[in-house]
């Protein structure tokens, strides 16, 4: 049981150690920045595409939507239009709530045995932590655009200003940094401390959590403790996306640790559970309308059946049948 | 591929989002700015040296100035002793900007490049600049 937790942790720590060494040696810095980023970007981009196309090749022979409410029925029975949609509009609504608000997680229940009674009760922690984590990650990713593109688009600057609006400390603490740190820790604690969740958790569940926690901590350390020259970092990031890579001198090793962890995350992305980013749009339990009986659904791999009629049978064995004196329909 | 039309649209959106920085820059990199030290006060200095060493100033000036503000305005202590033991009068206007009188070519150059918008100028004004 412990190897499931310790192995991914050891891998993350090994990446940190290697990047610390590589980032401190100046002739290795291009390898640990430019080369690593291009490779990771390519694996992420093409791997993501390949995975989605591979999924799209799998036939879905029948409607298998999860029905979380009353299906369309008689007019006097109240129909749950979003939770059990039978129209495209309903499916779009359902997908919107699923992708943007994590409606499935909102329905999370816990089951306890309380003084002999089996009690089901709602629990929103998973939903809250997941929502906080995903939106913080999104905002942080968009904020990082300021280091990749020039001139910086207005929405990135606005987001940056809103995120740091409390002006706590210099450089200002971003709200999303605090939220993501809190939420990732919460999600990790959930896996470690709830016995049932811990029982079903594998190394592939812990690894992304440790990686993301590593990314957040290294990022915060870089911003507040082991500072680096931000213009040098921008020159590097901007050079990479402009295909004129440069590796300015004097970037601290902490930057290479942050970068190595990010590159590991995005290169690992297409092969991991993180592909739920694309997969959520592809999941037949979500994106299909519940029209199992309303509409005719043909099996996509259906071949026309091969018939062998009695006439053909008789043609095949006519002579033997005649010899044996069996009755024939045609002489 | 099943539902090819929808899948292709989805992948096209993904590709646009992912490739946005590449397309936005269209192959021209913005070079790292070099803040200008070309002011009369700096030229007149016998030894070109800031309050602390250059590397420290590049990476940590923001926190340093914040500490100065707290020390001067909240504790009323206007003297700072640097690592070499030299005493410096704490004042953005009279110490920092005396040498770095070129806000546009010094401060703004890197701040604009990295998308940093410090709130120094909410209270202070640039003696040679436009903003009151």
- What's the rounded Cα separation, in Å, for the pair B1 and A156? 37
DSSP string, A171-228: TTPPHHHHHHHHHHHHHHHHHHH-HHHHHH--HHHHHHHHHHHHHHHHHHHHHHTS--
- What's the rounded Cα separation, in Å, for the pair A57 and A50? 11
Does some domain include residue B70? yes
DSSP string, A59-97: ---S------SPPS--TTSPP-TTTS--SHHHHHHHHHH
* pLDDT of amino acid A278: 93
How close, in Å, is residue A326 to chain B by CA atoms? 52
> Domain boundaries in chain A?
2-323
- Do β-strands A117-122 and A109-114 pair in parallel, antiparallel, or remain unpaired? antiparallel
Does some domain include residue B129? no
* pLDDT of amino acid A1: 59
Average pLDDT of the segment spanning A247-275: 94
How close, in Å, is residue B37 to chain A by CA atoms? 17
If one compares B131 and B59, the residue with the highest pLDDT of the two is B59
Interface of A with B in 6-25 (CB under 8 A): none
How close, in Å, is residue B108 to chain A by CA atoms? 12
* pLDDT of amino acid A297: 85
Does some domain include residue B78? yes
Residue A262 has pLDDT above 50, yes or no: yes
Q: Do the chains contact at A229 and B59, CB–CB below 8 Å?
A: yes
Residue B129 has pLDDT above 90, yes or no: no
H or E stretch covering A113 = strand A109-114
Spell out which residues of chain B touch residue A248, defining contact as CB-CB under 8 Å.
32
Task: Name the band, by pLDDT with cuts 50, 70 and 90, for residue A85.
Answer: very high
| Cβ of residue A280 closer than 8 Å to a chain B Cβ | no
Residue-wise pLDDT tens digits, A192-219: 999 989 999 999 999 999 999 999 999 9
- Counted domains in chain B: 1
Interface size A-B, in CB pairs within 8 Å, comes to 108
* Count of CB atoms situated within 10 Å of the CB of B127: 11
pTM of the model: 0.88
Residue A118 has pLDDT above 90, yes or no: yes
- What's the rounded Cα separation, in Å, for the pair A230 and A145? 13
- What's the rounded Cα separation, in Å, for the pair A25 and A28? 6
Please, which residues have CB within 8 angstroms of residue A174's CB and are 6 or more apart in sequence?
A: A140, A143, A163, A164
Kindly provide the ipTM of the predicted complex, given to two decimals. Answer: 0.89
Average pLDDT of the segment spanning B116-124: 86
Choice among A187-196, A200-209, B101-110 with the minimum mean pLDDT: B101-110
Q: Which residue of B has its CA nearest to A228?
A: B59
As given in the structure block, the two tokens for residue B130 are 């436009």
* Count of CB atoms situated within 10 Å of the CB of A7: 13
Residue B132 has pLDDT above 50, yes or no: no
Backbone angles phi, psi at A121, to 5 degrees: -140, 150
Q: Which domain holds residue B87?
A: 4-27+35-123
Average pLDDT of the segment spanning A99-114: 91
- Rounded to the nearest integer, the mean pLDDT of chain B is 87
Strand partners, A113: A118
| Cβ of residue A53 closer than 8 Å to a chain B Cβ | yes
* Count of CB atoms situated within 10 Å of the CB of B23: 13
Does some domain include residue B130? no
Residue B97 has pLDDT above 70, yes or no: yes
Spell out which residues of chain B touch residue A150, defining contact as CB-CB under 8 Å.
25, 30, 113
User: Alpha helices, DSSP H only, in A25-169?
Assistant: 29-30, 36-56, 88-101, 103-106, 125-143, 145-148, 154-163
Average pLDDT of the segment spanning B72-85: 89
Please choose, from the candidates B127, B111, B121, B122, the residue with its C-alpha nearest in 3D space to the C-alpha of residue B58: B111
- What's the rounded Cα separation, in Å, for the pair A82 and A257? 45
Task: Name the band, by pLDDT with cuts 50, 70 and 90, for residue B130.
Answer: low
How close, in Å, is residue A295 to chain B by CA atoms? 17
Does some domain include residue B100? yes
Residue A116 has pLDDT above 70, yes or no: yes
Interface of A with B in 130-169 (CB under 8 A): 145-153, 156-157, 160-161, 167, 169
Residue A132 has pLDDT above 60, yes or no: yes
* pLDDT of amino acid B128: 67
If one compares B66 and A331, the residue with the highest pLDDT of the two is B66
Mutate to test the interface with A, among B28, B30, B109, B110 (most CBs of A within 10 A): B30
For chain B, percent of residues with pLDDT exceeding 90? 21
* pLDDT of amino acid B8: 95
- Rounded to the nearest integer, the mean pLDDT of chain A is 92
- Candidates 3.40.800.20, 1.20.950.20, 3.40.50.12280, 1.10.10.10; correct CATH number of A2-323? 1.20.950.20
* pLDDT of amino acid A185: 96
Residue-wise pLDDT tens digits, A28-78: 888 899 999 999 999 999 999 999 999 999 888 888 888 889 999 999 999
Spell out which residues of chain A touch residue B22, defining contact as CB-CB under 8 Å.
241, 243
The answer to whether the beta carbons of residues A48 and A38 sit under 8 Å apart is no
Please choose, from the candidates B51, B120, B125, B121, the residue with its C-alpha nearest in 3D space to the C-alpha of residue A171: B120
Task: Name the band, by pLDDT with cuts 50, 70 and 90, for residue B126.
Answer: confident
């Amino acid at each position: 049981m412990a190897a499931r937790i310790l192995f991914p942790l050891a891998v993350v720590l090994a990446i940190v150690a290697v990047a610390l060494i590589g980032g401190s040696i100046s002739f290795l810095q291009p390898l640990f920045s430019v080369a690593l980023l291009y490779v990771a970007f390519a694996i992420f981009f093409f791997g993501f595409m390949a995975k989605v196309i591979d999924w799209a090749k799998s036939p879905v022979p029948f409607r298998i939507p999860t029905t979380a409410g009353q299906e369309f029925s008689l007019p006097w029975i109240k129909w749950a239009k979003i939770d059990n949609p039978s129209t495209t509009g309903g499916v779009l609504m359902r997908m919107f709530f699923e992708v943007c608000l994590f409606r499935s997680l909102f329905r999370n229940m816990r089951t306890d045995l309380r003084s002999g009674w089996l009690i089901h009760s709602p629990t929103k922690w998973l939903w809250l932590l997941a929502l906080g984590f995903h939106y913080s990650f999104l905002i942080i990713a968009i904020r990082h655009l300021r280091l990749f593109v020039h001139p910086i688009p207005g929405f990135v600057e606005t987001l940056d200003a809103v995120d740091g609006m409390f002006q706590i400390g210099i450089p200002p603490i971003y709200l999303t940094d605090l939220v993501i740190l809190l939420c990732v820790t919460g999600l990790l604690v959930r896996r470690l401390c709830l016995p049932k969740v811990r029982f079903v958790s594998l190394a592939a569940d812990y690894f992304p959590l440790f990686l993301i926690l590593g990314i957040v901590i290294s990022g915060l350390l870089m911003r507040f403790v082991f500072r680096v020259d931000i213009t040098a970092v921008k020159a590097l990031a901007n050079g990479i996306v402009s295909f004129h890579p440069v590796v300015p001198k004097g970037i601290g090793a902490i930057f290479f640790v942050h970068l190595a962890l990010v590159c590991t995350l995005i290169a690992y992305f297409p092969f991991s559970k993180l592909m739920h980013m694309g997969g959520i749009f592809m999941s037949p339990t979500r994106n299909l309308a519940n029209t199992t009986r309303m509409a005719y659904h043909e099996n996509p791999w259906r071949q026309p059946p091969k018939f062998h009629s009695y006439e053909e049978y008789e043609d095949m064995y006519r002579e033997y049948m005649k010899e044996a004196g069996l009755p024939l329909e045609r002489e | 591929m099943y539902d090819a039309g929808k899948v292709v649209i989805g992948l096209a959106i993904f590709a646009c989002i992912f490739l946005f920085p590449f397309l936005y820059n269209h192959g021209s990199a913005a070079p790292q700015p070099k803040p200008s030290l070309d002011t009369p006060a700096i030229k007149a200095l016998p030894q070109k040296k800031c309050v602390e060493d250059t590397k420290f100033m590049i990476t940590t000036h923001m926190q340093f100035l914040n500490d100065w503000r707290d020390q001067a305005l909240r504790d009323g202590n206007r003297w700072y002793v640097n690592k070499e033991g030299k005493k410096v009068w704490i004042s953005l206007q009279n110490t920092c900007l005396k040498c770095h009188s070129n806000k546009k070519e010094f401060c703004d150059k890197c701040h604009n490049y990295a998308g940093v918008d410090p709130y120094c100028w909410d209270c202070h004004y640039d003696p040679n600049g436009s903003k009151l």
